[in-house]
Chains A and B, each alone.
Chain A
């Protein structure tokens, strides 16, 4: 799809099974095309998504993360998405304080009927992350063990 020289971001999507996963299924059944950079991990609910997984994704080389679930009041478990939303408000504050690039984490509500919204979300996120480029500053620090030392002024 894109020329091999251009930077291809690696993006992980953490989605909830009842809404966004089903929305992605609908994108499939309606044969809408979107970028191949995004791989989906299924969770019962956005409430189940642990913030440590996001940290681990960046540490393991992800350039961007999508977190998506049911719209407020749609949650199959009535309040999973509300808990998740509150967790992400806190998480973004802590990450921003530490200087992590929170633009690389894209949050969204995608219902089981919004197949096209899922395709747009993926394409826009891939375009945004491609513009931001690889998350080198995080990954370089992550490969600390392989390389000898960590130069202060990198």
Chain B
């Protein structure tokens, strides 16, 4: 931790970066910290409790401004940063990525390839919460799944906290705000909630890095992060990507293979 603080202080003093996004000790658990001068870098912490995805701030122009900035990134943030690179939302000159690797060494990355090589060591596994709920869902029949999700969806009141927590939801105007035509009804009826979450999952095909930010953000605790996680796991063999390790070539949905599976097509 000490090496990290000194490095950040040095970076800020030299003016190499105008901002460093990291974690500081919060009331119950770590919360994001935005250091703009070396004094505040003293509050920086970086341990296993810091896993919330900071990548969601990286695309906010009004926060990071035009100068170069840095972020201390746990594995979830690194994966999202890779996906944001693939989608032309970040430039390698503007962002410096700091992290502390498994044996406590301070690591700095600039290019996509560096981060990609580092991320490749981490395999995306389900935590027990995910395993427990998903195995329950996987055991259900279609009707039971429908009832389960309709029950869950009835709690949703369209606060869109999931959208604002997700680093890959950086659209200036979301499809739900399109009213000509009104694709997704704004009122929180179960069917329009279901439409919203199906649409969100479809927008995440080949992109979601299962960081769980949306699940954490949901005020009524709907396990919506499991929808995108399960989708990513199921589609990985189909589309030939490795969940959590975005590749340079285009999005899974905007590319295709000659031998894509098609026995469901008559």
Contact = CB atoms under 8 A, between A and B. Distances in A.
Nearest to A71: B265
Interface stretch (A23-31, A37-45, A103-111): A103-111
Contacts of A121: 266
Nearest to A153: B147
Interface in A88-110: 88-101, 106-109
B202 A107 contact: no
Interface in A80-137: 82-83, 85-101, 106-109, 121, 137
Contacts of B227: 94, 97-98
Contact of B145 (A59, A98, A108, A150): A98
A90 B231 contact: yes
Given A55-B195, A101-B142, A93 B147 contact: no
A1 interface: no
A86 B253 contact: yes
Contacts of A137: 143, 146
A137 B194 CA distance: 13
A32 interface: no
Contact of A97 (B184, B231, B238): B231
Nearest to A144: B189
A145 B82 CA distance: 42
Given A86-B239, A141-B191, A142-B191, A97 B266 contact: no
Nearest to A87: B253
Contacts of B184: 52
B230 interface: yes
Contact of B266 (A82, A85, A91, A107): A107
Contacts of A109: 265-266
Nearest to A139: B191
A88 B137 CA distance: 22
Contacts of A106: 266
A92 B142 CA distance: 13
A138 B147 CA distance: 11
A112 B235 CA distance: 32
Contact of A90 (B154, B194, B253): B253
A85 B257 CA distance: 10
A7 interface: no
A96 B260 CA distance: 19
B258 interface: yes
B183 to A, nearest CB: 5
B256 A85 contact: yes
A98 B239 contact: no
Contacts of B64: none
17 contacts: A52-B175, A52-B195, A55-B198, A79-B256, A85-B265, A86-B252, A86-B256, A89-B261, A92-B264, A93-B235, A95-B198, A98-B197, A98-B198, A99-B144, A99-B148, A101-B146, A141-B190
